[in-house]
Amino acid sequence: MNVIFNHHAKKLYFTEIEKNITISADSIVRNNDNKLRSLDNPNEVIYTATYSKYEKTYPYMPMPLPEGVYHITGAEQLKDQAMIDIFGEYIIYTDAQPEVEIWDLDFQGGYREPTGEFVKDTGYLIHYSAGPYTLGCIATHDKTDQYLAFELCVHELYHNKTMRLTVV
């Protein structure tokens, strides 16, 4: 099975299965480009995700998941209510690690300017979102659709161990 996410169409396509399935999804972020993220408010600053609590994190400006080929690496039914409140009950992991530009912060802790330096960011998921925005993840906005995507991924990963995610 292949999964294709089309930014423009706002759809996730599950292909190469008995019956192709399409799910509504998007990757809309609040950032400087669309003027939806405040540069002055320190509470609006986002930091890179890492695989280890010992790795340094960097301030960056969220961007939609870039076009490219990635892999779906796992799926999990969450148990922690705080996590469910953020991501919904089911999450799908990817190996996406796009390069993001590090930002300098001003004296008050808000965004000042991009540095021209780049670092890999991790933690890009496919998950449910009750709100319109993510930090770059692919979001479904219907819990039934998210459960369907989760079940498709669990089944495919169990039987074939690998799934390609193409973002266009």
Sorted by where each begins, the domain ranges of the chain are 26-167
Q: Which residues contact 22 (CB under 8 A, 6 or more apart)?
A: 11, 12, 13, 14
Instruction: Kindly report whether the global pTM for this prediction surpasses the value 0.85.
Output: yes
Residues 12/149, Cβ–Cβ less than 8 Å: yes
pLDDT tens-digit map of 24-41: 999 999 999 999 999 999
Residues in contact with 136: Cβ distance below 8 Å, sequence separation at least 6, in sequence order: 27, 29, 62, 63, 64, 65, 98, 121, 124
User: DSSP label at 66?
Assistant: P
102-157: per-residue pLDDT in tens? 999 999 999 999 999 999 999 899 999 999 999 999 999 999 999 999 999 999 99
Q: Determine the Cα–Cα distance for residues 13 and 4; give it in Å rounded to an integer.
A: 5
How many CB atoms are located within 10 Å of the residue 127 CB? Answer: 24
Cα–Cα nearest to 133, from 32, 28, 62: 28
Calpha distance 11→24 (Å, rounded) = 5
